[in-house]
Structure 1
Amino acid sequence: MEDALYKLCRRLKLGTNIVDNAKAIKKENNIEFLLELFTMEIENRELKRKNVFIKQAKFDLIKTFEDYTFEDIKIPKSITPNELMDSSFVGKKENLILYGNVGSGKTHLAIAAGIAACNNGKKVRFYRTASLVNELVEAKKQGNIVKLLKSIEKCDLLICDEWGYVPVDTNGAKLLFGVIADCYERKSLIITTNLEFTKWNEVFYDEKLTAAIIDRIIHHSHLLDFTGRDSMRLKNSLIKLK
Structure 2
Amino acid sequence: MREEISKYQRKLKLSNNLMEIYPAIKADSQEEFLLKLLKELHEDREEKRRIRNLNSAGFQVVKSLEGYDFSQIRFPESLQLHNVESLSFLQKKENLILYGAVGTGKTHLSVALGVKAINQGKKAVFYRVHDLINQLESEDMKKVAKVHKKINQADLLILDEWGYLPLHQEGARLLFDIISSCYETKSVIITTNIEFGRWKGFLFDEKLTAAIVDRLVHHSHMLIFTGKSYRMANSLMK
Spell out the pairing of 1:80-119 with structure 2 (5 A cutoff).
80-119=80-119
- 1:64 deviates by 1.7
- 1:21 deviates by 1.8
**CA 1:41 to 1:81, structure 2 compared with 1: closer, same or farther past 3 Å?**
farther
C-alpha separation in 2, matches of 1:17 and 1:138: 39
Provide the secondary structure at the position in 2 that maps to 1:138: coil
2:228 maps to what in 1? Answer: 230
C-alpha separation in 1, matches of 2:113 and 2:207: 31
1:201-232 per-residue CA deviation (whole Å, 9 max, x = no partner) reads 22123222212211111110010110x21222
C-alpha separation in 2, matches of 1:236 and 1:90: 33
C-alpha separation in 1, matches of 2:33 and 2:141: 55
Using the TM superposition, name which of 158-167 and 169-178 deviates more. 169-178
Spell out the pairing of 1:161-200 with structure 2 (5 A cutoff).
161-200=160-199
| Runs (5+) with no aligned partner, structure 2 | none
Provide the secondary structure at the position in 2 that maps to 1:76: coil
**Percent identity of equivalent pairs:** 48
1:149-173 per-residue CA deviation (whole Å, 9 max, x = no partner) reads 3443232221110000001111211
1:184-212 per-residue CA deviation (whole Å, 9 max, x = no partner) reads 11221110001111111221232222122
- 1:8 deviates by 3.4
Provide the secondary structure at the position in 2 that maps to 1:60: coil
- 1:128 deviates by 0.3
1:102-143 per-residue CA deviation (whole Å, 9 max, x = no partner) reads 11110011111111222223222211011112222335xx55
Q: Is the 8 A contact 2:63 2:111 kept in 1?
A: yes
C-alpha separation in 2, matches of 1:211 and 1:103: 28
- 1:73 deviates by 0.9
C-alpha separation in 1, matches of 2:151 and 2:228: 33
C-alpha separation in 2, matches of 1:235 and 1:19: 52
Using the TM superposition, name which of 65-74 and 108-117 deviates more. 65-74
C-alpha separation in 2, matches of 1:26 and 1:161: 49
Spell out the pairing of 1:59-74 with structure 2 (5 A cutoff).
59-74=59-74
C-alpha separation in 1, matches of 2:31 and 2:143: 53
1:76 maps to what in 2? Answer: 76
Provide the secondary structure at the position in 2 that maps to 1:165: coil
Provide the secondary structure at the position in 2 that maps to 1:37: helix
C-alpha separation in 1, matches of 2:2 and 2:235: 54
Q: Is the 8 A contact 1:86 1:116 kept in 2?
A: no
- 1:146 deviates by 6.6
**CA 1:144 to 1:7, structure 2 compared with 1: closer, same or farther past 3 Å?**
closer
Q: Is the 8 A contact 2:125 2:150 kept in 1?
A: no
